[in-house]
Chain A
Amino acid sequence: MVLLMILIAPLLGGVISLLFRKDVRIAWISVATNAFVLGVSIWLAFHVVTRGVVLGAGGFLRADALSAFMVIVIGAISLMASWLGISTMAHEVASNPNQRAHSATYGVLVQLFIVAMVLAVLAANVAVMWVAVEATTVVTTFLVGHRRTKGALEASWKYIVICSVGIALAFFGTVLVYLCALRVGGHSAAALNWTSLVSVARHLNPSVMRLGFGLVVLGYGTKVGLVPMHSWLPDAHSQAPAPISALMSGVLITVAFYAILRFKAIVDLAVGPNFSRTLLVIVALLSLALAASLLITQHDYKRMLAYHSIEHMGLIALGAAAGIPLAIAAVLLHILGHGLAKSILFLASGEIMAAEGTTEISEVHALLERRPILGGVFGVGLIALLGLPPFSLFSSELLMARAEFQVGLGWAAVASIVAMVIIFFAVVGHARHMLLGANVSDEVLDKPPNWVSGPLVSGLVILALIGVLAWPLSSLLSAAAHVVTP
């Protein structure tokens, strides 16, 4: 019942805001339903950690600690994105009154997008999870192309073509896993339930499982933005409206990674941990290398944030490669920290773009002096994203590296640290250009209203608090990590 509520609430918000679209204030209803999702998911997490798994809709939905954690991430970022989305849409309608009709469809699509992500993490069946992840592609394509400029259309075309191919490969992988499960006597309807796959995992045919998992990593890896199927990501994340970039970069890519984690648990039981480890280390290091090399020469601050996502997905993949509970707990903490920091940065970048009218790094100067709040949020957000204390990304990166050393992946950890150092200097260089410098003109600049800056600032405070006191999360993280580790 609870699970069904979490699933239906965002949808309800979307439908109500469509029905009463004449009144612009109605968009707040979506914010309210997303806040509701966040609230219920926190309750769900407590419940799951203390009392165990929750089932819903006749076993169709299932929440263990890992799912509950992911719903919290989705809820938190959806809340921020839909809140700031009201400001984004207001900027848009102000610059072009014809956009009002589009902004109603925008509101509904965002809510559908959130529902699809929630379904992906709550589905008991890995094929339903696949359907949900594919649905996110379908829904977000129009959101990426929302501005209907040439660039936005091009980005959405590349996005849907590349992601559809990727997700088709993930489906092929799922079919192969299904074949193996049928052979060991799974009853056909339930054979693709994750729990039944785990229970028969030791008897699944190893060579077919290897092939299947390779396809799953390649396929869902496309949506995660891992090399070699990453090429859509910088285009889509930079062209989409800021709240969509925040949702895609903050949660969607990690929802896809969640799918990989679920399959990894099965394949590790079937063929031992070395196979998935090797595969993940390769894609992780390639992604880190690519992100580092392209961040150095970046000229567009939204693309800079997008390549930063590829870096962080590389780090997460490397952490998952280590595979021990400590590593997975750190990966999950990193998913939350990166999600919050990245969505705050994309949302702030949307406000900067609306104010400055450009996404070129070279054309933005002295933000700290001219727009102290936006510049400050952007700067502090980058500090968090680069993994400096007190923010939680610092602790999660440290924990991941420690776990990697423990399992003998120290060399890969060192390589990842080298990439992070390169990225650190590249991003600091770009940020210095944007944030510092003297204010040449004496123009009086309007500062964003409190209801816009409020969520951004409080998001950063929460991020720092999580970094300092991991207390409320630690039991959830370790419970979630044990779900997908033997």
Chain B
Amino acid sequence: MIGSSFYSMLSLAVGSVLVCAIIAIWVSSTRLLIRVLAAQGFALGIVALVLGVHERDLSLMATAVVVLAIKGVFMPLMLAKVGSRSLTNLEPKPLVNIPASLAGSAVLIVLAFGSSRVITTFVNTPIGALAPVGVATLLIGFFVLVARRKPVFQMVGLMLVDNGIDLVAFLCSAGVPFLIELGVSLDVLLAVVVLMVLAQRLASEFGDLDVGDLRELHD
């Protein structure tokens, strides 16, 4: 049995994850972008927490705490450090402009719902039915990676991909086992730290960097 207040709370949190992804396409200021990312990490943590409390699953609650700490607080703080070091605060000339990006994200969402039918019919629970939202977040992450050219935006794209996958895992199977989640989070965290250091080195070498300017290496 699913209590209606539980389900509406869960839907709200899941919906917020997707809304944050769409806003991430919309904004061009890095400061705002990082706040949106923090909000998404927070929403993702709430999803895990609500599910954990509902299913009285201690390991899922522990996972929720890890997600809240890492994705809601720690990573955005670090990204903000990188963001504040770049000279301008704005994405200068995105490869795809904002209205087209928003239209693109609508297409991606439809695509996500279509393509995740295999997963939803397999899981076949009301909670699992929300899984396409995770796939949509993942696809939007890909889009940000391809269409935005500042290092900070690319890092956010990566995190959107990761959050999307996490969301699917939570909704379909109450997450992967806790120890695995811990290992995975640690890896992702380290990757972000490495990206951050690298972004700073790139900035000091190339100035205010546009990833599109990385053209030293080619055939």
Contacts and interface: CB of A to CB of B under 8 A. Distances in A.
Contact of A154 (B118, B184, B188, B214): B214
* A interface, size bucket: 35 or more
A160 B176 contact: no
Nearest to B217: A235
Contacts of A211: 118-119
Contacts of B41: none
Interface of B: 118-119, 122-123, 138, 142, 145, 151, 154, 158, 161-162, 165, 168-169, 172-173, 176-177, 179-180, 183-184, 186-188, 190-191, 194-195, 197-199, 201-202, 205-206, 211, 214, 216-217, 219
Contacts of A127: 176-177, 180, 183-184
A350 interface: no
B158 A157 contact: no
Given A134-B191, A161-B154, A207 B122 contact: yes
A75 B138 CA distance: 37
Contacts of A180: 122
A153 interface: yes
B153 to A, nearest CB: 11
A263 B19 CA distance: 34
B158 A178 contact: no
Interface of A: 125, 127-128, 130-131, 134-135, 137-138, 141-142, 145, 148, 150-151, 153-158, 160-161, 164-165, 168, 171-172, 175-176, 178-180, 182-183, 188-189, 191-192, 205, 207-208, 211, 234-235, 238-239, 294, 297-298, 303
Contacts of A148: 201, 205
28 contacts: A125-B180, A127-B183, A131-B180, A138-B191, A138-B194, A145-B198, A150-B205, A153-B205, A153-B206, A155-B217, A157-B151, A157-B199, A160-B198, A161-B158, A164-B158, A165-B158, A168-B161, A175-B168, A175-B173, A178-B176, A179-B119, A179-B123, A179-B172, A180-B122, A207-B118, A211-B118, A294-B219, A297-B219
Contacts of B177: 127, 188-189, 191-192
A308 to B, nearest CB: 14
A157 B217 contact: no
Contacts of B168: 172, 175
Contacts of B180: 125, 127-128, 131, 192
A120 to B, nearest CB: 12
B152 to A, nearest CB: 12
Contact of B217 (A134, A137, A151, A172): A151
Contact of A131 (B158, B165, B184): B184
Contacts of A164: 158, 191, 195
B150 to A, nearest CB: 12
B201 A168 contact: no
B172 A171 contact: no
A158 B183 contact: no
A188 B180 CA distance: 11
Contacts of B172: 175, 179
Nearest to B142: A165
A175 B169 contact: yes
B184 A130 contact: yes
Nearest to B185: A131
A150 B206 contact: yes
A189 B181 CA distance: 12
Top 3 A-B residue pairs of the complex, sorted by shortest distance between their CB atoms = A131-B183, A134-B187, A127-B180
A53 B8 CA distance: 50
Contacts of B161: 165, 168
Nearest to A150: B216
Given A128-B180, A145-B201, A138 B190 contact: yes
A161 B119 contact: no
Nearest to A180: B122
A191 B138 CA distance: 25
B78 to A, nearest CB: 15
Nearest to B179: A189
Nearest to A297: B219
A239 B173 contact: no
A171 B165 CA distance: 8
A151 B201 CA distance: 12
Given A138-B194, A141-B198, A207-B122, 7 more contacts: A131-B186, A135-B187, A153-B201, A154-B214, A160-B195, A168-B161, A182-B173
Contacts of B190: 135, 138
A180 B145 CA distance: 30
Contacts of A130: 184
A168 B165 contact: yes
Contacts of A153: 198, 201-202, 205-206
Nearest to A134: B187
A485 B37 CA distance: 44
Nearest to A168: B161
A195 to B, nearest CB: 16
Given A128-B180, A145-B198, A161 B173 contact: no
Contacts of A191: 177
Given A127-B183, A130-B184, A138-B187, A176 B119 contact: yes
Contacts of B158: 161, 164-165, 168
